[in-house]
Structure 1
């Protein structure tokens, strides 16, 4: 038969188990099994991550409670809280942006509760022109969620304290600057008659979840690996004919 119209036929009988193809066959099957196992593992991770995100959304949307006496990141992350007190004029500005407005800042204010505590309040977003606009102290009732953001790190620049520009919500660093407890409350609702900020939504949407992408990648690589193995065996058999 000529080359035109030739289609390789694979037979996995005795010929395949001959020495020239046995090693690549075993290598191909073992490699594919490893790739499939990684895909299955990522599928399990995807199910776990989806369940975790659903639980986070459930916690965020729960009924707000009074501010705990000793908030703990391990226990109170995303806890909905209802507090009343004074939003002070002491602020930190953290660079941020929104899709509609573009660059701006998060306004992190010191908040003095009616119970005599001083915590931080993430009031939300303002555009760059309003960064240094006056925001006088005001009494308010705030409903929001406790949050310990994972934003600070070695790659994040140090804050420019002369211009009051921060590049991440470093809870410990901001608390030291504002003289508050290392507790950050992200505002969802405020009793202010004329809000001066736009609160960011509090959801699990910002938590990375790329496990489905990894599932597709590993299973796709397994198919490619098997295809390459079949092609290699065909080439070996054809050369030995």
Structure 2
């Protein structure tokens, strides 16, 4: 029974090694796929904001709306801002304007003459000026106004996203359904995208500080891919080294027996 046990252990070890190798190669390949996706996203984010502004998709286009075709696209829209605003927590590590650090994005609903609405990120305010009473002149213009901004995708909460605190008007991310509900909008008449105002839309008083769309991204996927492939190669090297060592030991043992 001992030889069979040894043989079975060797087969199990070989299967474990092959599985580990397959996983490492798979992770490396996945990172290369992520690299291609990130490079396409960077190219899109760099090109689209500079294109001429167009009208955003209206309700008749929402059924076939694909954010990949619209993300970061510059748009122009006329509507009337609501009085209520939602606050989405943010940290600007590399602000485009003079203000950065911890604060809030001020999100307000804009309703068109046709009756549909879109969430508009009017810009950033520091944490100390979250309360509107501390930033005179930051209220949106009254009456119909034409705005320009960049279309952004829905910010769906992740597994580790903190729960929103509507009572304190603090939201983590800009999930359209959650903010629309807080702002009293009809979900059926709310666009499936939001709009980040461009920097020129900043009020004369400087708040909210518009133009803070994140259009630059970390792209470490090639390094990650090389790391996973390197680990796979190292695993192969270890296996080969062990096999060579065992073969030499086997030859030495036979020589000693003779």
Task: Report the TM-score when normalising by structure 1.
Answer: 0.72
d(CA) in 2 for partners of 1:220, 1:43: 14
Q: Per the alignment, do residues 199 and 192 of structure 1 end up closer, same or farther by CA in structure 2, a change over 3 Å counting?
A: closer
Q: Does structure 1 residue 182 correspond to structure 2 residue 190?
A: yes
1:8 maps to what in 2?
none
d(CA) in 1 for partners of 2:146, 2:76: 7
d(CA) in 2 for partners of 1:149, 1:197: 21
Encode CA deviations 1:189-231: one digit per residue, 9 max, x unaligned.
317433411225334435x755313311222112211321232
After superposition, residues 97-108 of structure 1 pair within 5 angstroms as 97-99=91-93, 101-108=100-107
Please tell me whether the aligned partners of residues 121 and 196 of structure 2 are also in contact (alpha carbons under 8 angstroms).
yes
Unaligned ranges ≥5, structure 1 = 1-22
Unaligned ranges ≥5, structure 2 = 1-10, 94-98, 253-258
Please tell me whether the aligned partners of residues 80 and 145 of structure 1 are also in contact (alpha carbons under 8 angstroms).
yes
1:166 maps to what in 2?
171
Q: Structure 1 residue 187: deviation in Å?
A: 0.9
Q: Structure 1 residue 102: deviation in Å?
A: 2.5
2:49 maps to what in 1?
60
After superposition, residues 81-92 of structure 1 pair within 5 angstroms as 81-92=75-86
d(CA) in 1 for partners of 2:110, 2:156: 22
Higher helix share: 2
Encode CA deviations 1:108-139: one digit per residue, 9 max, x unaligned.
11224455543221011111121112343415
After superposition, residues 106-125 of structure 1 pair within 5 angstroms as 106-113=105-112, 117-125=116-124
1:127 maps to what in 2?
126
Please tell me whether the aligned partners of residues 100 and 126 of structure 2 are also in contact (alpha carbons under 8 angstroms).
yes
1:196 maps to what in 2?
207
Q: Does structure 1 residue 205 correspond to structure 2 residue 211?
A: no
d(CA) in 2 for partners of 1:114, 1:145: 20
1:149 maps to what in 2?
154
d(CA) in 1 for partners of 2:157, 2:39: 25
Q: Structure 1 residue 63: deviation in Å?
A: 1.5
Taking only aligned residues, the RMSD between alpha carbons, in angstroms, comes to: 3.5
1:229 to 234, 239, 257: 239
The SS at the match of 1:89 is coil
Q: Structure 1 residue 41: deviation in Å?
A: 5.6
Task: Report the TM-score when normalising by structure 2.
Answer: 0.68
Please tell me whether the aligned partners of residues 87 and 106 of structure 2 are also in contact (alpha carbons under 8 angstroms).
yes
d(CA) in 1 for partners of 2:16, 2:89: 51
**Matched residues, number:** 219
Q: Structure 1 residue 30: deviation in Å?
A: 6.0
